[in-house]
Amino acid sequence: MYVIVGLGNPEQKYAGTRHNIGFSAVTALADAFHIPIHTRKHKALLGKGVIAGQKVILAEPLTYMNLSGESVRELVDYYKIDPVTELIVIYDDIDLATGRLRIRTKGSAGGHNGMKNIIQHLGGQEFTRIRIGVGQKPDGWDLADYVLARFPRDEEPAIRETLKKVVEACEMILSEGADAAMNRFN
């Protein structure tokens, strides 16, 4: 079984923002594989289904971004998964150009507070993550204002295409492994 977690903030006012691209990715997975996400459990909104022949739990933590590790820890413990091989975390990255993907199986939080909290709660940095580029903040912008803003209309087609790639990347990770997905999507 795999747990696929998309990071974001739970209130409707954050829907569609750069910081909630992880939630958007989980929604794209749910839509692509007909997995309803409606169960509230483990401090998250969950859906159970099958992707690439593998049982999966899709999760959107309801803890707010900076406390995402609380939900991820509960999911790992309850479903008795090995985070090194059975956890995928999807989140935004301001160091990547809008629409770029970067898949890794370990690494630091890179300044992302949600990832810092997950690493703290798991006690390690070895788990698969898919970073989705949301672009660097423009000069003069506050970082929080930038990541909590919606994508401009001219970037929306690139984001829709990126979410399709995330679906393909997750399917490949589950069927062929993270290395194959890294070779194709990085």
Opening angle at CA 141, ends 137 and 147, nearest 5: 55
- For 139, counting Cβ atoms within 10 Å of its Cβ (0-12 exposed, 13-18 middle, 19+ buried), the class is exposed
**Ramachandran angles phi, psi of 60, nearest 5°:** -120, 105
CB 102 within 8 A of CB 90: no
Which residue out of 19, 34, 38, 121 is catalytically annotated? Answer: 19
Whether 19 sits among the annotated catalytic residues: the reply is yes
Q: CA neighbours within 13 Å on the CB side: how many for 167?
A: 17
For the chain, what is the radius of gyration of the CA atoms? 15
CA 73/CA 38 separation, integer angstroms: 20
Q: Which residues belong to the active site?
A: 19
